[in-house]
A and B are shown apart, each in its own frame.
Chain A
Amino acid sequence: AQSVTQLGSHVSVSEGALVLLRCNYSSSVPPYLFWYVQYPNQGLQLLLKYTTGATLVKGINGFEAEFKKSETSFHLTKPSAHMSDAAEYFCAVSMEYGNKLVFGAGTILRVKS
């Protein structure tokens, strides 16, 4: 069965610092990979996704992620954190017919001023 591991349930960075949220998946074949963000009291919003092609994927709000097959990773980065980035971030994978997503447990990002 597929699984997704997000290292660190909470990550704290200073405003302007690099954001790095880690995601590793277990799969014997390349999956489809997603990052979603959930702001307080709001629904999930897609940040970016990898399906095929270029392994460096750019998303909204300055976020990007790189699919590394050899490391089974899809880490999310942003060069400079903003206060508005404070939210919970979920990594998800899909490789089965029907696209049902398997989610990681989530990482809460805190941005300090």
Chain B
Amino acid sequence: GAGVSQSPSNKVTEKGKDVELRCDPISGHTALYWYRQRLGQGLEFLIYFQGNSAPDKSGLPSDRFSAERTGESVSTLTIQRTQQEDSAVYLCASSLSRLAGGQGETQYFGPGTRLLVL
């Protein structure tokens, strides 16, 4: 596709349920990022995938959060036993990362998944 896509666009769930969010990066982009945007706040980094390297999970807020990516394709972010504080917009981004370390590469963002935990 032309851009980063995410699904679902909106998700309402009950506290304690598990949710799975999906991200389709731009074709050919080796790097993929997940961020969280809480109401009235900036984006928080969650996790980063670069090719076949071990992911950088340093931003995951708790062990209830996990993410997977197969090769350079789709990624899924899973939140287990959701809590009300997990309510946020979850944004996915991808970049080419041609440069060593990927510094300075433009990240292209998807429209986000708006998660509401009741």
In the complex, which residues 54-113 of chain A have their Cβ closer than 8 Å to any Cβ of chain B?
A: 90, 92, 94-106
- In the bound complex, residues from chain B placing their C-beta under 8 Å from that of A99 are 31, 48, 95, 97, 101-105, 107
B59 at the interface (CB under 8 A from A): yes
Residues of B within 8 A of A104 (CB): 42
Bound: A95/B107 CA distance, A: 14
Residues in B whose Cβ lies below 8 Å from that of A94:
103-104
A95 touches B103 (CB 8 A): yes
Nearest CB of B to A30, in Å = 11
Task: Give the interface size bracket for A toward B.
Answer: 20 to 34
Known contacts A90-B42, A90-B43, A106-B42, A101 near B107 by CB under 8 Å: yes
A44 B109 Cβ-Cβ under 8 A: yes
Per the bound structure, the CA–CA distance linking A99 and B59 in Å amounts to 13
Contact count A vs B, C-beta below 8 Å = 72
- Asked if A17 is at the interface of the complex by the 8 Å CB criterion, the answer is no
Across the interface, A98 reaches (CB within 8 A) one of B42, B48, B91, B106, namely: B48
In the complex, which residues of chain A have a beta carbon less than 8 angstroms from the beta carbon of B111?
42-43
Q: Are A44 and B103 in contact (CB under 8 A)?
A: no
Partner of B106, one of A9, A46, A90: A46
Which one of A52, A102, A103 has the greatest number of beta carbons of chain B within 10 Å?
A103
Does B42 contact A105, Cβ atoms closer than 8 Å?
yes
Chain A residues within 8 Å of B68, by CB: none
Interface set of A (CB-CB < 8 Å, partner B): 4, 9, 32, 36, 42-46, 49, 51-52, 90, 92, 94-106
Interface of B with A (CB < 8 Å)?
4, 31, 33, 35, 40-45, 48, 50, 56, 59, 91, 93, 95, 97, 101-112
